[in-house]
Amino acid sequence: MSLDLEYISDAISYPFPKVTQKISERQKYFNTTVFVVLALIASEIPIFGGIRQVNSYSEVTFKVSGTLMQLGTQPFVFASMAAPFLFDKAEKHSSDILGLILSVFMAAQWAYQNSSWLGGLQLCGAAWVLLQAEIYLRDRGAISPSTALIFANASRSLLLSVFVSPLAFIWTLILIVVVAWIETLNVSVPLTHTKYRHQSTGMELSVMYNSTTALIMYYTLMETVGTWYTPAAVLLPRMVTMHTLIAAPCLYLGVYLINNRLAGINEQTGRDLVEKWKEQKYTIKGWRDPKRMYRYIQNIIDRNVHWNTVFICVLWTLALLFRPAVGITTLFILIGTIKRHPPSWKLY
């Protein structure tokens, strides 16, 4: 199967030259910026049979209905989320292939619904270009194309809210501060070196153990399903309506179920962590029995995941009742991006 995927990947991918030397941060940010500008221009170009809808947006991907970015990055984001469940880890190109297949399927669906097969072909072409950009920026970009576009779009909405809706802007800043503070909460586990007992350290286990990944995965899944089957879109309300009585419990349950499985998927369970510490010659101070250590760390993880779920659901509910300038899920993506890529003034 791996060889088949490699062959398909070579067939659909442009043969970019391999990176043979380190690319500077300045060049990576420049490459990402050029892509974002071109993608934003594409989001202003209507396709045959399409009508640009300004108010149609996604919180976890970038797409603009009725334009060349009608599908946007949604198929590729969904594919990157689904690929680990469908393919082996060794099949590194599986996400690219699945993303393009989904794009073609969604383009055909749109063409059928709008009776515009020429527009469908345009969407297939745009999806192929986005795939090449994804591959090119993987080693030459600062952040992923989808995240960069979400960041640019959300930043524009946030700046506009300063003049259009100051209260929403202030509420957004409050949410940013609250989320940033919650992300700093940790539970410290004292570790000691197995050989040099005087060499001690502490491992910090974040209370937001899985960060906001569960909510982002749930939104990605529901938005993609909503694209295929329109009635499912009610499960992601943007304001309080009667549908919220159904949508809110579904979201709470979905986030809970995803959050409780992420540690195992990411190999971050109590056993995984203790084994990694053992490889680094560290153990929990004063403990000898590995099984007890597994249970002890797993209990901390389970408790953190519980609070992780509570914080996510409470913040989502608050953002639904009092709408910020950008969606709460988009806000989580922005904060996570800034956390992973802190601003630097040493680009030059």
CATH number for 147: 1.10.3370.10
Q: Count the domains in the chain.
A: 2
* Average pLDDT, integer, range 179-188: 88
What SS3 state is found at 218?
Answer: helix
Two structure tokens written together for 23: 């690319």
0.85 exceeded by pTM = no
Q: Is residue 53 part of a domain?
A: yes
Q: Which domain holds residue 33?
A: 2-159
Looking at 116, 140, 159, the residue that finishes a domain is 159
Q: Is residue 194 part of a domain?
A: yes
Tens digits of residue pLDDT in 220-277:
888 888 888 878 888 888 788 888 888 999 999 999 999 999 988 888 899 999 899 8
> What pLDDT is attached to residue 66?
86
Instruction: Tell me: do 145 and 240 sit in the same domain.
Output: no
Instruction: Tell me: do 212 and 313 sit in the same domain.
Output: yes
The per-residue b/e assignment along 65-104, b for 16 or more CB within 10 angstroms, e otherwise, is: bbbbbbbbbbbbbbbbbbbeeebeeebebbbbbbbbebbb
Cβ partners under 8 Å of residue 194, min gap 6: 278, 281, 282, 283
Q: Count helices and strands (H / E) in the chain.
A: 12, 3
Cβ partners under 8 Å of residue 91, min gap 6: 1, 2, 5
Cβ partners under 8 Å of residue 155, min gap 6: 334
Instruction: Tell me: do 192 and 222 sit in the same domain.
Output: yes
Tens digits of residue pLDDT in 127-181:
999 999 988 998 888 888 888 888 888 888 888 888 888 999 999 999 989 988 8
Q: Is residue 347 part of a domain?
A: no
Q: What is the DSSP code (8-state) at residue 16?
A: P
In this structure, the number of other CB atoms found within 10 A of the CB of residue 335 comes to: 18
Instruction: Tell me: do 336 and 231 sit in the same domain.
Output: yes
In Å, what is the CA distance from 248 to each residue of 103, 180, 241, 243, 253? 29, 24, 11, 9, 9
* Average pLDDT, integer, range 101-120: 90
Instruction: Tell me: do 140 and 192 sit in the same domain.
Output: no
Q: Is residue 123 part of a domain?
A: yes
Angle between helices 213-228 and 244-265 (to 10 degrees): 120
> What pLDDT is attached to residue 54?
60
Q: Is residue 224 part of a domain?
A: yes
Does residue 7 surpass a pLDDT of 70? no
Q: Is residue 345 part of a domain?
A: no
